Amino acid sequence: MSPMSPDGSRRDFLKLTGLATSGLVLAAACGTPEAPPGPQPSQTSSRPVPRGKPKSVPREKTLMLANGDGSDVGICNPYASGFNHQRGLAAMFEPLYFYSAFTGETIPWLADGQPTYTSDNTQVTIKTRKDASWSDGKPFTAGDVAFTLMMLKDKKNTAMQYSADMREWVKSARAVDDNTVEISFTKPAPRFVFDYLYMKNDLGIFLVPEHIFSQQKKQAEFLFYDPAKKWPVVTGPYQMVDWTNQRRLLDRRDDWWAVKAQIAEQPGPQRVIVVPFTDPTNTAQRLINNELDSSLDLRPPVIKQVVKENPKVVTWTGRSAPYGYIDWWPQSLFFNCAVPPYNDPDVRRAVNHAINRDQLVSVGYEGAGTISQLPFPNFPPLQKYFDAIQSLLQRYPTNAHDPAKTEQIMTSKGFKKDNQNLWVDKSGKRVDATIYGLQDLTTDYGPILAEQLRAAGFNASHQAPSDSGTRIADGSAKLFLFGFAGAIADPYPSLELMHSRHVSKMGVQGDISTRWKNADYDKIVERMSSLPVGDPGELPLFVQAMEIYLKNLPHTPLLQWLHRIPFNTTYWTGWPSKSDPYLPGAFWFKTLPLELSHLKSAKG
């Protein structure tokens, strides 16, 4: 049976299980994890960072955000090691296309209209806008697109993000004229434009100015930040004007081409300041004091308190639970399928039956959450795929809490319980069910999950040491908690994450995976890669892939991930919301320029 009833409080639950301490602190804030920066340049801490001379801007004209730290100071080249778009820098960059995960809307931006593929999908032609320009006044052209793709494809730039993808798919890219780019592929690539040239959530390549990057001998080491030179040169609505470890200042470009072209309104904030996210308690107090307008998303107890204390703070769902929206990062319990006993799908299913997901929500998330049956976000464009596999979910249920089934499976596999009621193998060794999580990301529901498994006989505990990431990546973690980001408009990106190409050898750090391999599954995913986004042919292949997945259960879905983001309306209105879902509300996404163009002064 479960350690306690689902309607109990988190504090009571932790007391009963011995996990509480006197003065239990609120769970820390978190969001979609920042894209992990590469190794920092050796000179990062000692190199001089140019300072700007920003003018004074009053608070009521300033947007104050909290996220990240100051470790990436002075790195504006989106392909330099250490660059991180999630800390405000996305305000400077624009794509060929924006895409809203909630509305399903494609918004041509630097592109003029939709892409044109050849009948065999081995080439695509894209028109670029004639009225787009860089911040130094130079026209934005098709040459910038072609140059960016070929720069990433260049073997000398293998350390750059997306470099491997460009070498995999791009045969050549050339500017036919100033406003026409032609991209030829190494194989049919009907998904290429959507996968790489759309900005959606944290995905999409950054386009760089050819007239500057072509002059750099070491493009991956070029930092591209110098206020005196007005670097970086960008197309977006904001420009970096000063930067220290304590804060970064971006000022609105009143000559932003998109306003002149009448495709966007001028953003309300004259200045954007991003300060480090130190801890949830400090951030909460600053939001209550109107010193911040938004921050990295907060855990349920924290945002509940902020909303209570400041009547001007709203969320995606107004001032009521669950205080947020479903993000694209659903949480799963990952098994290391390369090591016993989790190399046995029956044991994995035994663990699955020990999990009470409703309790994870009611206790871990204080009721402000949603369980997950599948490793996909509950986005409207994906619903038709979910509907197609309901019969499979009845055969292979992922959310069937049934401790008796756990007992039956483990006993049939030769496991017995010792004098502390914990499973041991035939040699008398306890089944290691240590669950590795990430500090401030899984410490709200992770301990509860561990107690559920322990009540079912597994020697479980939730651990979030500083080296969790390493343990997860090199395979030393047998069980771990992580999100599964990928699917937005269709399920392929998430399915592709389970392809065996992402599996590394034990002890070798690589992509986050379960180290599960299935040749039949791989073939199905490869067939899907040759279909355009949303092609009718995806649906039957999806059903085939999910039957293999559900039967093998290399990880088990737990919870939908919610972005519980505070929006302070004291100074700014126009935030995304359930009633106006023009974009996800995460300012750390690459869609930030569009979000900023919606913000208006609350003072009128």
Chain segment 284-311, per-residue pLDDT in tens:
999 999 999 999 999 899 999 999 999 9
Q: Are 431 and 335 in contact (CB under 8 A)?
A: no
pLDDT of residue 441: 84
Enter the tokens of residue 212.
């500057």
Architecture of domain 328-560: Roll (3.10)
Cα separation, 464 vs 468, whole angstroms:
6
Q: Are 499 and 490 in contact (CB under 8 A)?
A: no
Q: Are 33 and 87 in contact (CB under 8 A)?
A: no
Three-point CA angle 252, 253, 259, nearest 5°: 110
Query: Pick from 497, 437, 427: which is nearest to 471 by CA?
Result: 437
Q: Are 462 and 450 in contact (CB under 8 A)?
A: yes
C-alpha 181 chain-centroid distance: 30
Query: Pick from 28, 61, 51: which is nearest to 245 by CA?
Result: 51
Enter the tokens of residue 319.
């001032």
User: What are the residue ranges in the chain where pLDDT is below 70?
Assistant: 1-46
Cα separation, 77 vs 171, whole angstroms:
24
CA distances (Å), 458 to each of 351, 422, 577, in order? 8, 6, 42
Please tell me whether the peptide bond between 322 and the residue prior to it is cis, using omega within 30 degrees of 0. Answer: yes
Q: Are 566 and 287 in contact (CB under 8 A)?
A: yes
User: Under CATH, domain 97-214 is a member of which superfamily?
Assistant: Dipeptide-binding Protein; Domain 1 (3.90.76.10)
Report which secondary-structure segment, H or E, holds 395: helix 390-395
**Would you list the domain boundaries of the chain?**
59-91+224-323+566-601, 97-214, 328-560
Q: Are 110 and 140 in contact (CB under 8 A)?
A: yes
Q: What size, in residues, is the chain?
A: 604
CA distances (Å), 81 to each of 37, 76, 120, in order? 7, 10, 37
Fold classification of 59-91+224-323+566-601 is D-Maltodextrin-Binding Protein; domain 2 (3.40.190)
Buried b (16+ CB within 10 A) or exposed e, 497-506: bbbeeebbee
For residue 45, the one-letter residue type is: S
Torsions phi, psi of 169, nearest 5? -110, -35
pLDDT of residue 98: 97
pLDDT of residue 46: 61
